[in-house]
Amino acid sequence: MKKRQHLIMLMLVVGMAAITCVQACQQQVSQLGPFEFLDKLSSYGFFVGETKNLQPAARVLHYTLNTPLFTDYALKDRFIVVPANKEMQYKDSGVLDFPDSTFIIKNFAYRNEAGAKVMIETRLLFKDPQSHEWKVMNYIWDDKQSDATKLIVGKKVPIKFLDDDNQLQQTVYQVPNTNDCKRCHINNSDIQPIGPKVRNMHIGDQLRKWATAGYLKGLPAEEQIPTLPNWQDSAKYTLAERARAYLDVNCAHCHTQTGDAFNTGLFLEYDQHDKNKLGFMKNPVSAGAGAGGMDFDIVPGHAHQSILAYRMNSVEPGTAMPELARTVIHKEGVQLIVEWINSLPKQ
């Protein structure tokens, strides 16, 4: 590990200022054996200046999503690191294909009582050029907010934070271990990115800017790019569209035919049209006591009788859904799903 870091730093100092530390890492993989995650977040050179400011270096692309995953009202910053002389590829199905040696970065922070941003953790995905498979690693920020250190085993962090209504809450934030990360990211037995999907990234002109700059190839005409609704935009999208988008992002990475919860038969993708697979009057397969004594995942017109709404409105282990990624109830998300279920024609 030390040899790798020394080589990287030497290459940067002796005239490779135009190449980020990330690309130097890429070059070292073939020379020093299998890729290994570095000990410190700052060692990658993702950001210029103080690491906590998250100012992206060259080829580190900041991006936003139409509908983000909820994680305890966390503030999230997302980046894709595109390797030198390579580009992302748009596929006909709307899939974004990432080249080997791509990093995907997701930073988590919260607003403290004074409204200041406090870093908690940074998660990395790296597409290994040797195996062509994605690898995961977490980094936890130090108390001084100067850097983040590699963390494999996970950690519980007591925090007090302001939610979206500026109401003070407190919780024990769960920094996941690497196995937790793999569990959510597993799709068809392989680790895959969750957030950066074309339909959820088609917001503003960020995709078009990447295409113009040469970071993204194959982007079709604007009207041909699929778009996932913004769950908060009630002026542009219907209640059903917003609710389905919310369920897609927060649930469908597991609740899909190739996901971790495939055995439940509950599939919540935005383009799923089978009412039984969506849970309409469907008996749960593996909910157990988590069903709260209810008989169906969704009872149209009756949110208070629907297991889906019940589990979203809980933080109890064995009941709460999603069971990973949150420790508090997303009030606004629960309200959206309750309103949607109540609006459905009764059967």
Give tens-digit pLDDT for 106-156.
Answer: 999 999 999 999 999 999 999 999 989 999 999 999 999 999 999 999 899
- Strands 117-127 and 134-141 come out as antiparallel
pTM of the model: 0.87
Domain positions in the chain are 36-223, 229-343
User: What is d(CA 8, CA 3) in angstroms, rounded to the nearest whole number?
Assistant: 9
Binning pLDDT at 50, 70 and 90, where does residue 16 land? very low
pLDDT tens for 48-97 read: 999 999 999 999 999 999 999 999 999 999 999 999 999 999 998 788 99
DSSP 148: E
How far apart are the C-alpha atoms of 345 and 299, rounded to whole Å?
Answer: 10
How far apart CA 103 and CA 136 sit, in angstroms, is 10
Q: Which run of H or of E encompasses 138?
A: strand 134-141
Average pLDDT of span 272-299: 88
User: What are 293's two structure tokens?
Assistant: 């004594």
Average pLDDT value over all residues in the chain: 88
